[in-house]
Amino acid sequence: MYLIIDVGNSFVKLAVFKKDQLVAKRVVKLMDVLKAVEVIKKEYPTIAKAIVSSVGRLTQRDVEEIGVLFDLTELNHNTKLPFENLYGTPKTLGVDRIALVCASVKQFPKKNTLIIDAGTCITYDFVTDENAYLGGAISPGLRMRYASLNNLTANLPLLDTECPGNIIGNSTKSSIHSGVVYGVLNEIDGNITAYQEKFLDLTVILTGGDTNFLSKQLKSSIFVNDNFLLEGLNYILQFNSN
């Protein structure tokens, strides 16, 4: 059994896999990660190996303490990967994006694949049918857009995410909802269309914290998988264990 630890910007996801099967999943705050790891260790004593992927602020001390409990792999740009990385600056490629690409090459081999991760940021990552990662794009996510309107203006309020009832906002609040939500939806649909025009037989995966909110409103045909990043990390751990 494997323990997967995904440290994001807001929360930490912990998952237990038995080969490719997700057995358990928990979401905790960063301050509670060590306690959660210890609980999982007691509940699943047969876990021998773990992998940690951190885009957040997990300290080196935390990593070392986890390493005492498990044979630990810390994902970075030196980790052996199951794809050809053609990114121009591989040392700056986020570990979350690496994990998503690994999931795609396992689950959709020899296919042109666009992975869209809708979280704090929206990332777009493209893998060719020849197993080559070319890169993609990064843009602000839903919450970041709401927050920027509030932070960078004098009078616009900070709103919770809400599906607009009409594209034409008839108040400041409804105008913000329309601008943010339809802006994101049109961006995603537009990117998918642009890739489809360039690459035949494109497979599109949507994942990330805003998946459920966005997926029902997108026009494009997509695969939805909330656990895609965790599955990618699990594959990396398996790939480096062989």
Instruction: State the binding site for ATP.
Output: 6-13, 120
**Residues contributing to the annotated binding site for substrate:** 87, 94-97, 172
Tokens found for residue 237: 């751990």
Q: What is the C-alpha to C-alpha distance for residues 86 and 21, in angstroms, rounded to an integer?
A: 30
Q: Which of the residues 20, 71, 96, 201 is marked catalytic?
A: 96
**Residues contributing to the annotated binding site:** 6-13, 87, 94-97, 117, 120, 172
**Residues contributing to the annotated binding site for K(+):** 117
Task: Find out whether 173 and 157 touch, Cβ atoms under 8 Å.
Answer: yes
Is 96 assigned a catalytic role? yes
SS (H, E, C) the chain: CEEEEEECCCCEEEEEEECCEEEEEEEECHHHHHHHHHHHHHHCCCCCEEEEEECCCCCHHHHHHHHHHCEEEECCCCCCCCCEECCCCHHHCCHHHHHHHHHHHHHCCCCCEEEEEECCEEEEEEECCCCEEEEEEEEECHHHHHHHHHHCCCCCCCCCCCCCCCCCCCCHHHHHHHHHHHHHHHHHHHHHHHHHHHCCCCEEEEECCCHHHHHCCCCCCCEECCCHHHHHHHHHHHHHHC
Catalytic center residues: 96
